[in-house]
Each structure stands twice: as C-alpha cells, then as structure tokens.
A and B are shown apart, each in its own frame.
Chain A
Amino acid sequence: MVDKQLRHAGGEFEIRGFHEIACVCSDMQRTTDFYTNVLGMRLAQTTEGPDGSQKFVFDFGNGVDRMAFYWFPDAPPSQPGIAQSDFFTSVKEGGRDITTASGSMNHFAFDVAPDKIEAYREVLINEGLQVTDVWNHSDRPGVDQYMPAQPNEDTFIRSIYFPDPDGIVLEFACWGRPLTEHDVIHEGKRESDLARNRT
C-alpha cells in the first residue's frame, strides 16, 4: 500500500488522492456487485435523495481513494462516442475510434505494480470480463512504434482495459520507465485547430 500523504511534492494544493470519481450507473445493484465482488472495493456509504436518486460510495481499499456512483431515476441513456468511449466496440472491429465529447471522461486507469499486471489480467478474465492484451504504450519522437508487441526502453505505460457494467472503460496501468523533460515537448492544440473550425 502506498502512503500518499508522505509523497506530497510540496506544491500549492495538497492533493491526497481522489475523494471521489463520481460517475453515473443504470443499475446500482449490478454496479455494487461489480465494484465490490469483482474489484474488491468496500461499499462505504449509501445516500438517497427525495426524488429517489441514489449515491453509493466505494472505498478502493488503499486508505484514500473512492468511487461514487449516482443513480438517477430519469438518467439520460448512455451515449457512446459522446459521454463515454466506444472503445470495446471499436477494438472488436479493429479500429481505434475512442473519441468522446469535450468535457467528458474518456476512461480512467487504476495504478498497479508493474509486476502484477499480468496476474491481475488473469484474475479479471477468470471473472468473465472482456480484457485486452497488455498494451505497451511506447513513445519516442521520430520512431513509429506506438504499440509494440513487447515492452521496450520507450515504453512509458503498460496497461490492460476492461469494461464496467455500463461500459465505462476501466484500465489497470503501470509506469514502464521514469518520465523526463524529454517527454514534454509538444505545444497544446487550440480550439481553432479542431477539424470543425478549420476552413
């Protein structure tokens, strides 16, 4: 277990972790079963609003981080490609269309130890989940090698992806190498660079 309070880098705001990553589910019973029985979290709190909406909080079991799920009686249905990534459909079809709308969460990655990712992949597969191979995200300017079959010295993240019950794209990830100043080299694109704004 990592004691994150000891790792505070001394910046202006002391971030201890994620108080809650607040997402929306369609079926709180199914979501509770997944985050507790499959991912091993603890259901820590349940609240209910006067309109019948619910909020359940799940403790990661690392001393700090939590997930929260809302259930709204009139929640808009899921909108892949806008409000969540259509990653798994896209991967099945051999594509990489993971675009989501500005202001959305695309996916998120739990941090795991580098020597555990293969074993965790087996555990998730044994739970009956659709899990990708271990992907070796690799990058060096000028080298076309984004996802080599084996990790190499440019591999900065290794990860696996799997869906939650509402298709939220979850990831287990570990850092592959230390990041350096050479990893921060690009200027951020502007709104005016978007395809729809180019004339």
Chain B
Amino acid sequence: MAYSNPKFDLRGINHMALTTHDMAATVDFYTEILGFPMVKTLDMGARGQHFFFDCNNGVDGIAFFWFADTPADHPGIARSDRAEGGRGISAVGSMNHLSLEVPAEKLDEYRDRLRAKGIAVTEVVNDPDGHVDPDAAEVYRRAIYFSDPNNILLEFAAWTRELNAADVRHAPKTAAELVTARESAHA
C-alpha cells in the first residue's frame, strides 16, 4: 500500500532549478539527448536566463538558470565529485545528484540508447553495494549514471522491491558528530 502524505498533496516536482554556464549546450542535451520538451524561456535581462523543460510526463520539470556572473563549476562542493574520481561528496545544503525514476525492465535498453547518442554511461549498478546478481533478494534498486553538460550527476533508476519497516534501522546522525564539530570541540 503506497504511503499517502497526510499534510500536503505534493503532486510532483514543478521544477528542479539547476544552474548552467552554457544554456545553449544545456538545451541541446535536455531536448535532443533526453527528449524533454522545452516549455518556457524567461529572459531576466542583464541577470541572465531561466529556461524550463518538461520531463516528458506532463507533471515534472527541470529548469535551468544561466546567470551572467555564475561562479565556475565546484566539484565536491556544489555537486558530487564522483566523475572526478572522488568519493561522491558535496557540501552541506547542496544537491549531490539527481535521479529519475524509469521502468526497471528498461534500464539496460536506456543505457544502450544513451551510449548510442555518445553519452558516457556506467553499467547498471544493483544496490546494495553494486551487487552483481540483479535478482538477489537483498537488491532494492538498479541504476545507471551519466553527466549532463554542467557535470551534474544524473541517474536513471528503478526500485525493484517495496521498502518496508525493516529498511529503517539507523539512528540519525547529528551536526555534533561532524568531524568539523568534533575538531572545534577539542580546540
């Protein structure tokens, strides 16, 4: 039985507002590679541009800002540094990566299709921990990873089983447990 939000009817994501240094290349990628219709272009004058794409389902959207004074790419801070061979870390308050839900049975086909378009895509990863057998009982999701022209880490993924009460079993960590907090406590 799917969980229903008792407080807010959140129908989807009206738009993820991401940031680009090259709107033209971003438009090419989201419309030509991913096939998302561009539905709105907003000129912000000297400040820049704000363009909106539909995720091809009529509900969800991805939007991009192009700021005339946008700071350069900050891997490991403003986005995951996995493409640079890092641990996949990024700063508090950042989006690390963005994962789109696709049908599980289509993941292999989608990987091949993206590759045919010249996109570097990982093999299908079965979690937990990149399990080699996709049909193993403990596998809960499958995913492929690739990057957009802004080095934003994108993912096509699918849940392969319902999550249940046994999937929630860790006590949440607090800010006091951060290395920086522990160091300052001992300073």
* A residues adjacent to B (C-beta < 8 A): 1-2, 4, 7-9, 11-32, 38-48, 52, 54, 56-57, 59-65, 68, 70-84, 96, 98-113, 116, 120, 123, 139, 141, 156-157, 159, 166-168, 171-175, 179, 183-191, 193-196
Contacts and interface: CB of A to CB of B under 8 A. Distances in A.
B77 A82 contact: yes
Contact of B178 (A73, A96, A188): A73
B132 interface: no
Nearest to B42: A139
Interface in B62-84: 65-79
Nearest to A23: B95
B77 A83 contact: yes
Contacts of B67: 99-100
A24 B24 contact: no
A2 B14 CA distance: 13
Contacts of A81: 71
Interface residues of B, number: 105
Contacts of A107: 17
Interface of B: 2-27, 34-43, 47-49, 51, 54-60, 65-79, 89-103, 106, 110, 113, 128, 140-141, 143, 150-152, 155-159, 163, 167-170, 172-175, 177-180
Nearest to A186: B41
Nearest to A197: B21
A111 B8 CA distance: 10
Contacts of A2: 11-12, 59
20 contacts: A2-B59, A12-B35, A13-B56, A15-B100, A21-B13, A22-B95, A22-B98, A24-B96, A40-B8, A45-B167, A76-B92, A83-B91, A102-B70, A105-B16, A110-B10, A116-B9, A156-B40, A172-B8, A186-B51, A189-B66
B11 A106 contact: no
